[in-house]
């Protein structure tokens, strides 16, 4: 039939829905603030998971990662904990004890009143190497530069280009295999938001679109592989990887970050 690919339309959210997303996003950001003081040498990633699970439940929310994915291999924990060379989707476990010099991304997604708030941060455990600190700072700044491109009329490629130019300019690489995503009542939906790209290309942003920007930046190669657990994504060369994530809404004259405390 030689059909063209017909892209699925991207949902445009009403102001009322965006306020519900802000409530979920605020809860997610507050959860990261809550867990931060526990991120210290000696704590296990299992303990961080337990604390986040209890905090979330006590606020009437649901941890979206728990049982997410294919029924054959659902994600088994409430948060993702991605340490050092782990790019994303690290699984909390009781054998993993944090030590000085580690970097750990904690990615949380509470569902509040049916809406997902998706945000993550990379924390430094005690004193870390100069390279690790530079990586974490570069990753945060690249996310903020990507967010600064969000505005009705701009293109998805503008976001990726801003992130890629900055991260590669600092000598690092941008992960290709995982991208930002539309979010709402559904955890992962259209559009895809690559953290690399070409200015002026891709989908045109419209007021009311809500999606995540969540660059994963590596010290060495951008290439990733997944461990035999089917979830944990690691850098192919074992180099450190960092990530930050916000959920944002497109507005007429700019951007509304929904995952602020």
Footprint of ligand MF3 (CB under 6 A)? 65, 68-69, 75, 80, 89, 107, 109, 118, 212, 214, 231, 245
Place of tokens 């974490």: 136
Q: Does 247 bind Co ion (CB under 5 A)?
A: no
**What separation in angstroms does the CA of 240 have from each of 134, 139, 161, 252?**
11, 12, 22, 37
Q: Which residue from 123, 139, 205 is spatially nearest to 172, judged by alpha carbons?
A: 139
8 A C-beta contact, residue 186 and residue 179: no
CB of 221 to ligand MF3, least distance (A): 22
CB of 252 to ligand MF3, least distance (A): 27
Task: Give the one entry of Co ion, ligand MF3, none that residue 89 binds, where binding means its C-beta sits below a cut-off of 5 to 8 angstroms depending on kind.
Answer: ligand MF3
Compare residues 38 and 68 and give the one whose CB is closer to ligand MF3.
68
CB of 213 to Co ion, least distance (A): 9
CB of 116 to Co ion, least distance (A): 9
CA distance 230 to 212: 23
Q: Which residue from 210, 212, 196, 215 is spatially nearest to 246, judged by alpha carbons?
A: 212
**What separation in angstroms does the CA of 118 have from each of 128, 174, 246?**
26, 20, 7
Q: Which of 107, 132, 173, 205 binds Co ion (CB under 5 A)?
A: 107
CA distance 248 to 240: 26
Binding mask 195-214 vs Co ion (x if CB under 5 A, - otherwise)? -----------------x--
CB of 250 to ligand MF3, least distance (A): 18
Contacts with Co ion, residue ranges (CB under 5 A): 107, 118, 120, 212, 245
């Amino acid at each position: 039939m030689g059909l063209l690919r017909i892209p699925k339309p991207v949902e445009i959210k009403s102001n009322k829905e965006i306020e519900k997303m802000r409530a979920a996003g605020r809860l997610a950001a507050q959860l990261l603030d809550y867990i931060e003081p526990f991120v210290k040498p000696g704590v296990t990633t299992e303990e961080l998971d337990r604390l986040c699970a209890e905090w979330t439940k006590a606020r009437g929310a649901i941890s979206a990662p728990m049982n997410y994915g294919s029924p054959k291999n659902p994600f088994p924990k409430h948060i993702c904990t991605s340490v050092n060379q782990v790019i994303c989707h690290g699984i909390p476990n009781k054998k993993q004890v944090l030590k000085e010099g580690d970097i750990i991304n904690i990615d949380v997604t509470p569902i509040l009143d049916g809406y997902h708030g998706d945000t993550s941060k990379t924390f430094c455990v005690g004193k870390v190497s100069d390279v690790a600190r530079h990586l974490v700072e570069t990753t945060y700044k690249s996310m903020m530069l990507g967010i600064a491109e969000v505005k009705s009329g701009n293109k998805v490629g503008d976001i990726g280009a801003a992130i890629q130019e900055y991260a590669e300019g600092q000598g690092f690489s941008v992960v290709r295999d995982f991208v930002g995503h539309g979010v709402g009542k559904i955890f992962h939906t259209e559009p895809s938001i690559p953290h690399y790209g070409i200015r002026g290309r891709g989908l045109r942003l419209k007021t009311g679109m809500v999606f995540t920007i969540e660059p994963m930046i590596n010290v060495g190669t951008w290439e990733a592989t997944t461990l035999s657990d089917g979830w944990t994504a690691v850098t192919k060369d074992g180099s450190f990887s960092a990530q930050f994530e916000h959920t944002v809404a497109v507005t007429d004259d700019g951007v509304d970050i929904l995952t602020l405390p």
